[in-house]
Chain A
């Protein structure tokens, strides 16, 4: 990942951490997608090298889906966007041969049987392996002769993910793939993600609301707030840059004076306070508490207020 973005959304110095041109699967520069006057995606720049699992986080309507659609040529953006070195709009078909996009896991054709889907995908995707798909499906509770319309939502998602995983794609773009899945199905998906896609050559861009669950699987995070990119970091850099201090309620005022991003509680009792800082606070403030790991959820809350809360009160 490249830029460290300060919390007002302006991109600061870009330093590509050792990733050369051919290693970059996605390059976006000053990307915007406008619908009328409103910008669903507002001047966003980032890169995705290979071998990463990138979490795309944001509230509903923050622009995640629009951004993903732009990456697969379903929306025409302003600015520069290259996915696998291709222009998503002009070279859409070629791109979709090597990049997989699941817009919603509940969109398999209801009239089809699973084995018919395998037949169709064999013809449509040059990199689809029917054997792989059948192997992956065996791990699920979905049968080959099942009709999609007879499957529960969770099973449709499992089937869809198994079919997609059978495509030898370099980039997987998944829009909330675990939506509506129960815990076991989500766990199976995470296991499949690690088994199938974490080989150092592929990258996954995944948007989700299950931030706590996915946090440990991510290598990088992109956070959108109202179309703007408010965070663009690897998780490693995140641990270094953000300082979370757990402290007593007695020093809460002194902590607050150092202008933390967020104040929150980690547990009951007087010792259960915490403050999250962007960058290290002064030494004397750090000494007041104990440094803990900043969680992605807390960062998410700190950096992406709900749109309603952003409006000034009259």
Chain B
């Protein structure tokens, strides 16, 4: 069973997981999201929680409701997500990482951009 951390509300954590999957193209833009029941069964959560997570994604403009057919991934959702993730990295993670690098005394030219073979 999936373990959830104590920091955030569960629905928020699920929304983050689903967003990460969307970023990977799962499901692809224009495709239907898995049903609430399917998600609830996969993550062993109450469907109400799943609904809240999907609602959160909908509020961010990533999902839209097609009448009678369920939730679908909005066109351009991946780009929007990536932009949001980029923003978050630039604003939160990068300053922290930069601080750490400074503390360790690592210079920018010491960082290997290419992956080691």
Contacts and interface: CB of A to CB of B under 8 A. Distances in A.
Judged by CB atoms under 8 Å, the answer to whether A and B touch is: yes
Interface of A: 51, 53, 187, 190-191, 194-195, 198, 200, 213, 216-219, 235-236, 239, 244, 246, 266, 290, 292-293, 295
Given A293-B6, A293-B9, A295-B6, A216 B41 contact: no
B4 A216 contact: yes
B91 interface: no
B8 interface: yes
A279 to B, nearest CB: 18
B44 A219 contact: no
Nearest to A298: B6
B37 A198 contact: yes
23 contacts: A51-B48, A53-B46, A190-B44, A191-B41, A194-B37, A194-B41, A194-B45, A195-B37, A198-B37, A216-B43, A217-B44, A217-B46, A219-B48, A235-B49, A236-B48, A236-B52, A239-B9, A290-B7, A292-B6, A292-B7, A293-B8, A293-B9, A295-B6
**Which 4 A-B residue pairs are closest in the complex by CB-CB distance?**
A194-B40, A198-B47, A292-B6, A219-B48
Contacts of B49: 216, 219, 235
B37 A219 contact: no
B75 interface: no
Contacts, number: 53
A108 B98 CA distance: 64
A177 B45 CA distance: 18
A246 to B, nearest CB: 8
B6 A194 contact: no
Nearest to B52: A236
A62 to B, nearest CB: 23
Contacts of B52: 236
Given A187-B44, A198-B40, A266-B6, 19 more contacts: A51-B48, A191-B41, A191-B44, A194-B37, A194-B45, A194-B47, A198-B37, A216-B4, A216-B44, A216-B45, A218-B46, A219-B48, A219-B49, A244-B6, A290-B7, A292-B7, A293-B6, A293-B7, A295-B6
A187 to B, nearest CB: 6
B15 to A, nearest CB: 14
Nearest to A290: B7
Contact of A194 (B8, B9, B10, B44): B44
Residue of B4, B37, B41, B43 with highest tally of chain A CB at under 10 A: B41
A198 B39 CA distance: 12
Interface string B12-50: 000000000000000000000000010011011111110
Contacts of A236: 48, 52
Contact of B10 (A200, A213, A293): A293
Contacts of A290: 7
B111 interface: no
Contact of A195 (B10, B41, B48): B41
Contacts of B7: 290, 292-293
A216 B46 contact: yes
B108 interface: no
A266 B5 CA distance: 11
Contacts of B46: 53, 194, 198, 216-219, 235
Most A C-beta atoms less than 10 A away, residue of B9, B10, B41, B48: B48
B27 to A, nearest CB: 21
A187 B1 CA distance: 8
A204 B41 CA distance: 16
B55 to A, nearest CB: 12
Nearest to B7: A292
